[in-house]
Each structure stands twice: as structure tokens, then as C-alpha cells.
Structure 1
């Protein structure tokens, strides 16, 4: 089964939300621009990036 993750990465203008699957994660693990990664439930994996950003806001520094 594919596991999905909601990820905040450092973008040129601030944090950027992304959704990654476990199938593509192997190439992303060593990235230095990842702020935080959240494992998603099956229900959450169906949500849009906007909805996920509200559920899992970028952490305050």
C-alpha cells in the first residue's frame, strides 16, 4: 500500500506545501530543504494541499 506524506519545504518565497508518496520518497529523503513531514491517513491523503495546509500548518520557528 502506498503511504502518503504532506511535506513543507523551503521555497524561494517561503515554505511550500507538497504531497509525496512512499513510492517516490526514496529520491526525496536526503533533501536539505524539508522543514517537516507528516504521514497522512488514508482520509487525509485524499485532501487537497490547501486542506492539508490548514490541518498541518508550517511550524513556527
Structure 2
């Protein structure tokens, strides 16, 4: 079964949301620009990036 993650990474204009799966995660795990990673439920994995960003906002520094 594929596991999905919602990830905030450092982008050129500030934090940027991304959705990763275990199938595409190879090479992503040790990225230095990851701010935070959330493991998603099956229901959450079907949501858009905008919806996920509201559920899991970027943490305050």
C-alpha cells in the first residue's frame, strides 16, 4: 500500500507545500530543505494541496 506525506519545503518565496508518496520518496528523505513532514490518512491523501495546507499549516519558527 502506498503511504502519502504532506511536506512543507523551503521554496524561493518561502515555505511551499508538496505531497509525496512512498513510491516517489526515494531520494527525497534526506533533503535539507524539508521544514516538516506529515503522514497522511487515506482520506487526507485524496485532498488537494490547498486543503492539506489548511489542515497542516507550516509551523511558526
The TM-score range, normalised by the shorter chain, is over 0.9
The Cα RMSD (Å) is: 0.4
Where does structure 1 differ by over 3 angstroms across 4 or more consecutive aligned residues? none
Count of residue pairs brought into register by the alignment: 61
Q: Deviations over 1:6-59 (max 9, x none)?
A: 000000110000000011112101100000000000000000000000000000
Q: What SS does structure 2 have at the residue aligned with 1:25? A: coil
Q: What SS does structure 1 have at the residue aligned with 2:23? A: helix
1:45 equivalent to 2:51? Answer no
> TM-score, normalised on structure 1?
0.98
Partner Cα separation in structure 2 for residue 27 and residue 47 of structure 1: 24
> TM-score, normalised on structure 2?
0.98
Gaps of 5+ in 2: none
